[in-house]
Chain A
Amino acid sequence: MLKTDSFSSRARSLEGQKILGYIPRYVISIVVSLLVLIPLVTTALGGFKTNGELQSAPFDLPRAFLWDNYSKILTASNFWRQILNSSIVMVATVALILFIASLAAYIFARLNFPGRELIFNFFTLGMLFPLTVAVLPLYITLRQANLLDNLLGIILPQVAFSLPVAIFILRGFFRGIPMELEDAAYIDGCGSFGFFWRILLPLSRPALATVGVLNLVGSWNNFLLPLLVLNKEDLWTLPLGVMQYQGQYGSDWASIMAFVTLSMIPAVIFYFLAERQLVAGLTAGAVKG
């Protein structure tokens, strides 16, 4: 038990402790931040160096900023082609996931029928099947469907393997939308699809953004599936391009660093724009599930 007279002095000393306590916390946080940032910053700066400079002084600032490595990549078509392919795959994947998963989540959230939970569990079971496990037979399936060397061969499996989590998150959100709204919509003459399209989806923007952002990142960074499915160079996505560029330019590390830096830029910009949704998506998938 605390005595009341010691209370205020204790509070004051707590205040003092707090400010002192910040110092080690800042030191640790700054050291870890440097460990995160140094490889990234030296990579970006490395792109401005000559190979000799990169060898002799990898940590130093470039003596003169050399734009050749960057301009060489930006003026060739490969890089832009890969950005375009990655973008097509990403946008198509996310649009399809949002539409298909919302339709299913709507049924699981708002309609009662026998066997509903069973079917829902059948879908969420997919959370246990990562793409890695099924990738060999998936490859055969794609070959039979003539989807090898076809961007759809990336898009559709990505959609399929993302559905379980998407349906799970969206169902949780849809359940929270008041029944009265749905009743009102039907009284006003909306059909099921009308309610879904005009009322449910607009109200669910935060959840859709969450699922969308999560899958934007997943699609943009996907490596295994494109590696197996896309052989034609003009279909390559950015991760394949980065890997191939490293292989092709071998010891020309300055060029490789320029390429890697350019390939990071879209992801980093996106991260600063959508960090909030990304965090929400990851924690919704993990903490609540």
Chain B
Amino acid sequence: MQSSLGTKSTPIIQPVQRRRPRYGRIFTIVLFLLPAAAVYIYFVILPIGQSVFYSLFRWNGLGPLENFIGLDNYTKALGDKVFVGALSHNLLIAVLSIVIQLPLSLVLALLVARHLPGRSVFRMIFFLPYVLSDVTTGVIWSFVYKPDNGLLNTALRNLNLGDGQAWLGTPNLALYAVFVVMCWKYFGFHLILYVAGLQQIPADLEEAAKMDGASNFQVLRHITVPLLGGTIRISVFLSILGALQYFDLIWVMTLGGPVNASETMATYMIKNGFQRFQLGYGSAVGVILFLVCFVFSLAYQRMVLHRDLAGSGALT
């Protein structure tokens, strides 16, 4: 690569646009983009397109695609109580995350963001569950929730708080029990986002407000939280998107049961698509799942993230 200057025929000082020969430029662009484009189109774009196509057929995934049924798969899904229930579970998880998980993460982030000696140790502990796999987490918590002598029921008995429950086996409790595990696993992630956001707020601003006589709560309410707005809006966004697509922990802990009580759109899709060999129908569920996420993303970005993203050119 390192040819000596003497062998180059082009002058050393040249206009910026002509640093590279033109034919080489196009060649470079194509060559550098090709691997990414090939993998991305083949494994991301093509399957997304295919799922729309498959969703219009009754198809078991094996034979030829000949049973065209139009939008029947969609009307069937939207008319199925189990699917509508799954959708409502996704929404419930989203709401619970926003109402419980995120405020909890924010409060803890405020506690361990600054000043407190030993804060990095706490942060490290809080963030630890995030790196464990959902499967590991699910198995550990299956033991916590085990009806006979699980950790939770044993703890309740030792504290004389009753004999406990079959947490994952009771339809009214299963989804909430799984939600607690989601909080346990993911609060550290949101906390890390908030800590990063807090570190970008200049300490002078808060100190100045205190000098002017603002109470700690007033500083928090009028300075810290508003300045953290961008981070909070992103965290809400990620939380809702995650809730809409949730699969792993539920599959490990309850398989969507008992009696579909903790079903989500993703577990419903996998059950119908793979276990019952209805790939056309499963694809339709996938498309609905995608549309829900897509409409939400667009609406949220237009209405909420708009000002944060202005000028960054991201996620247009």
User: Which residues does A use to contact B, with CB under 8 Å?
Assistant: 2, 14, 18, 22, 25-26, 28-29, 32-33, 35-40, 42-43, 46, 54-56, 58-59, 99-101, 103-104, 106-107, 111, 113, 117, 119, 121, 123-124, 126-130, 132-141, 156-157, 159-161, 163-164, 167-168, 183, 186-194, 196, 198, 217, 220-221, 223-224, 227-228, 238-240, 242-243, 246, 253, 256-257, 260, 263-264, 267-268, 270-272, 275, 278-279, 282-283, 286-289
B306: CB under 8 A from chain A?
no
Q: Is chain A's binding surface mostly helix, strand, loop or mixed?
A: helix
Q: What are 13 A-to-B residue pairs whose CB atoms are below 8 Å?
A: A2-B213, A35-B184, A58-B149, A100-B35, A103-B36, A104-B33, A104-B37, A113-B29, A137-B54, A159-B43, A224-B270, A286-B231, A289-B314
Q: Which residues of A contact B88 (CB under 8 A)?
A: none
Q: Identify A263's interface contact among B12, B124, B136, B289, CB under 8 A.
A: B136
Q: Which residues of A contact B143 (CB under 8 A)?
A: 39, 43, 46, 253, 256-257
| Number of A-B residue pairs with CB-CB distance less than 8 Å in the complex they form | 284
Q: Is the CB of A141 within 8 A of B47?
A: yes
Highest count of chain B CB atoms <10 Å: which of A134, A164, A246? A134
Q: Is the CB of B112 within 8 A of A29?
A: yes
Tell me the complex Cα distance, A56–B154, Å.
Answer: 9
User: Which residues does B use to contact A, with CB under 8 Å?
Assistant: 1-5, 8, 12, 16, 19-20, 24-25, 28-29, 32-33, 35-37, 39-40, 42-48, 50-51, 54, 61, 108, 111-112, 115-117, 122, 124-129, 131-136, 139-144, 146, 148-151, 154-155, 158, 184, 188-189, 192-193, 196-197, 210-213, 230-231, 234-235, 238, 241, 245, 247-248, 251-252, 266, 269-270, 273-274, 279, 282-283, 286, 289-290, 293-294, 297, 312-316
Q: Known contacts A126-B45, A189-B2, A242-B139; can you find 7 more A-B pairs with CB under 8 A?
A: A25-B112, A59-B151, A103-B36, A126-B44, A140-B279, A221-B131, A239-B134
Q: Is the CB of A136 within 8 A of B139?
A: no
Tell me the complex Cα distance, A47–B108, Å.
Answer: 32
Given A135-B286, A137-B54, A140-B61 in contact, is the A160-B128 Cβ separation under 8 Å? no
Q: Is the CB of A104 within 8 A of B134?
A: no
Q: Which residues of B contact A35 (CB under 8 A)?
A: 184
Given A39-B144, A140-B279, A160-B43 in contact, is the A287-B136 Cβ separation under 8 Å? no
Q: Identify B131's interface contact among A104, A253, A257, A268, CB under 8 A.
A: A268
